[in-house]
Amino acid sequence: MIDSTNEKPCLIKTEQGFSIQYKSKFLYSKYNPSKNILTILQNLQVLPGTIILCFSPALNYGLQELLKKIEENCIVIAVEADKNLYEFEEQNVFTDSLKNNPLMTFVSPEKLFALPELISSINKGQFRRCIRIDFSGGTQFYQDLYSKLFQACQNSVAQFWKNRITLVKFGRRYCANIFRNLKLFCSSNNIVKTNKPILVIGAGESALETLLSIKNKKSRFFILAVDAILQTMKSLNIRPDAVICEEAQDIIIRAFTGCSDFYDYLFVSASTNPNVTKLTPGKNIFYTTKFCESDFLSEMIKNQLLTNVIPPLGSVGLSAVETALKIRQDENIPVYITGMDFSYSIGQTHAKGSFHEKNRRFNNNRLIGVESFGSSFNDDAKKIIGKNNNPIITTTTLNNYSQLFSYRYSGTKNLFDVGKSGINLNISAKEIAECDNTNENFTITSQRKKSDKQIEEFILQEKNALLRLKDIFTGKIVLNEDSRKEEIIKLLKKREYLFLHFPDGYQLNLSQDFLNRIRVQIDFFLKILK
């Protein structure tokens, strides 16, 4: 019997072409190797804007035929997970016509897991869907891997359009808030570091039990709380060392009502509502979430106008965990989390006394009750078993956040969950009572920014660029058509904030309608910069 673990792919001649024998299996028919895949392609309808994942192409049967069929804005990506098969293809099959085709990409086993990121980087709005085609029997050796990879690629395409929806709704506000917060950057702290154990408190139901248990031990932790739990902590007289906020909407100011003197530091996203950052300018520590791929954000980060960059995680709770891991002096400092439930019980969506619960009470009437039972019975709600073996309610969005948490932080050294309820986050659990420490030589250090000169120069630069654009649009600056087009592209290329919130703003175009809309935005941002 052949030891299939050491077996190499072998080319086998059949009646109507070649097949491959590998690991004691034929990867194509023994009689007509190309028939099956050609039949699939013959019946395949490929819509414009499709990414076609060709799993285990092996002898490349059908790839040429597929390339002839594809519509506008489509690409073909050949993916091979098996190292032996990939090397066999390289040595025996790859043709220059395929390798040099701009619509064709081959992905090796070493680059397999980078494929979703590759799709994200090349997707500028032209791709709307992702399909898979199994080209050979080679997929049977890695069925689970190919399925997960396909799902990840689908999610990558879907995420682009989810982000687009967010940017259409909030993109202008995010950018406007950055510019409104600019002048506060100078008076803010740049970074905080601590060797004190960090307790991160989210707004989920489990937070309340944890807070009650540390009421007399709060000095043993550096407490970092999300904005929504601040009211609860104020009512319990448990003062956090720091609060984190990244909400751009006006409503978030209610979370800080009567609490602006109840913390020492405010970790705040550069795009956060400026009404929050103005409350305590000397306490702000700005960080940056790169909410879109854009030249203007990249330039501001490169020039250190925007600092402390963290990924756009979508949840202030996740941002709090990310921040906690960054501010500990080293990975030996423990970080404890609670209130990261990503779920709720029937009638109760957040910790008692939290901003969200108070807001619900404020808005209740005969038709809208305090308990919010409706959230437990909407179409997206589903019942699952939580980490304490009790039934809980979650949603697709909340569950996605929990999965992102697990993916990003599972295996992180000295990260522990002390919350008693919610979804299992795949990190070590610990009793809060076990988190005592005897070391009293704790330090908390901070560093202030030095100069506002760079910020002033940036504001002046943007004002001058916007004024020049305005003069070109209004005819005060007269240029020939080619020079006018070149100048507009040059000025807009690094100022996507003028159009990224347009429904079609994922790429610059010079249609008159597009430019007319930009003209309106110029006045809006000039007013802010003045």
Closest CA to 82 of 33, 135, 37, 142: 142
Backbone torsions φ then ψ of 201, nearest 5 degrees: -115, 115
Where would I find the H helices in 437-480? 453-474
Tell the burial category of 395 from Cβ atoms under 10 Å away from its Cβ (0-12, 13-18, 19+). middle
What CATH class is the domain 187-448?
Answer: alpha beta
Going from N- to C-terminal start, the domains of the chain cover 36-161, 187-448, 453-529
pLDDT value at residue 325: 96
pLDDT score, position 6: 60
> Which of the pair, 241 or 312, is modelled with greater confidence?
241
- Lowest-confidence segment of 130-144, 245-259, 346-360, 414-428 by average pLDDT: 346-360
Q: Band of the pLDDT at 445, cuts 50, 70, 90? A: low
Can you tell me the mean pLDDT for 120-138?
91
Lowest mean pLDDT among 169-173, 285-289, 356-360: 356-360
Mean pLDDT of 138-162: 91
- pLDDT bucket at 71, cuts 50 / 70 / 90: confident
With cut-offs at 50, 70 and 90, classify the pLDDT of residue 286: very high
Please tell me the distance from the alpha carbon of residue 211 to that of residue 259, in angstroms, as a whole number.
17
Per-residue pLDDT for 489 more than 90?
yes
Q: 165 falls in which pLDDT band (50, 70, 90)?
A: very high
Is a pLDDT exceeding 90 seen at residue 318?
yes
Whether the predicted pLDDT of 26 surpasses 70: yes
Average pLDDT on 504-514 reads 93
Chain position carrying tokens 């390798």: 99
Return d(Cα 63, Cα 160) in angstroms, integer. 27
pLDDT at 404: 87
Distance CA 355, CA 365 (A): 18
Q: Mean per-residue pLDDT for 298-311?
A: 90
Which tokens in the block code for residue 174? 């995010």
Residue 338 has a pLDDT of 96
pLDDT-based confidence at residue 428 (cuts at 50, 70, 90) = very high
* pLDDT value for 3: 38
**Per-residue pLDDT tens digits for 331-386:** 999 999 999 999 988 655 445 554 555 554 444 444 444 444 444 446 678 888 88
Per-residue pLDDT for 219 more than 50? Answer: yes
Q: What kind of architecture, by CATH, is found in domain 36-161? A: 3-Layer(aba) Sandwich (3.40)
CA distance 423 to 402: 7
HEC profile for 231-276?
A: HHHHHHCCCCCEEEECCCCHHHHHHHCCCCCCCCEEEEECCCCHHH
Joined tokens for residue 16 = 């109507």
Instruction: Tell me: pLDDT of 13 over 50.
Output: yes
For range 25-42, the mean pLDDT: 92
Which pLDDT score, from 0 to 100, does residue 417 have?
Answer: 96
3-state secondary structure of 78: strand
Categorize the per-residue pLDDT at 159 as very low, low, confident or very high, splitting at 50, 70 and 90: confident
* Dist. CA 433–CA 309, nearest whole Å: 34
| pLDDT band of 274, cuts 50, 70, 90 | very high
- What is the model's pLDDT at position 369? 42
Helix (H, G, I), strand (E, B) or coil at 281: helix
Chain centre distance of CA 245: 17
How many angstroms separate the CA atoms of 40 and 196, rounded? Answer: 61
- % of the chain surpassing 70 pLDDT: 89
**What pLDDT is recorded for position 441?**
57
Instruction: Please count the CA atoms within 13 angstroms of the CA of 217 that sit on its side-chain side.
Output: 17
Most confident of 103-117, 177-191, 468-482: 468-482
Alpha-carbon distance of 101 to 481, in angstroms, equals 35
Asked if residue 31 has pLDDT above 60, the reply is yes
Find the largest Cα–Cα distance for the chain.
84
d(CA 424, CA 185): 38
- Answer yes or no: pTM beyond 0.85: no
Residues above pLDDT 90, as percent of the chain: 62
pLDDT score of 291 more than 60: yes
Mean of the per-residue pLDDT values for the chain? Answer: 87
Long-range residue pairs from 445-449, CB within 8 A, at least 24 positions apart, any chain: 445/192, 445/193, 445/194, 446/189, 446/190, 446/191, 446/192, 446/193, 446/265, 446/285, 447/189, 447/190, 447/191, 448/187, 448/188, 448/189, 448/190, 449/185, 449/186, 449/187, 449/188, 449/189, 449/190
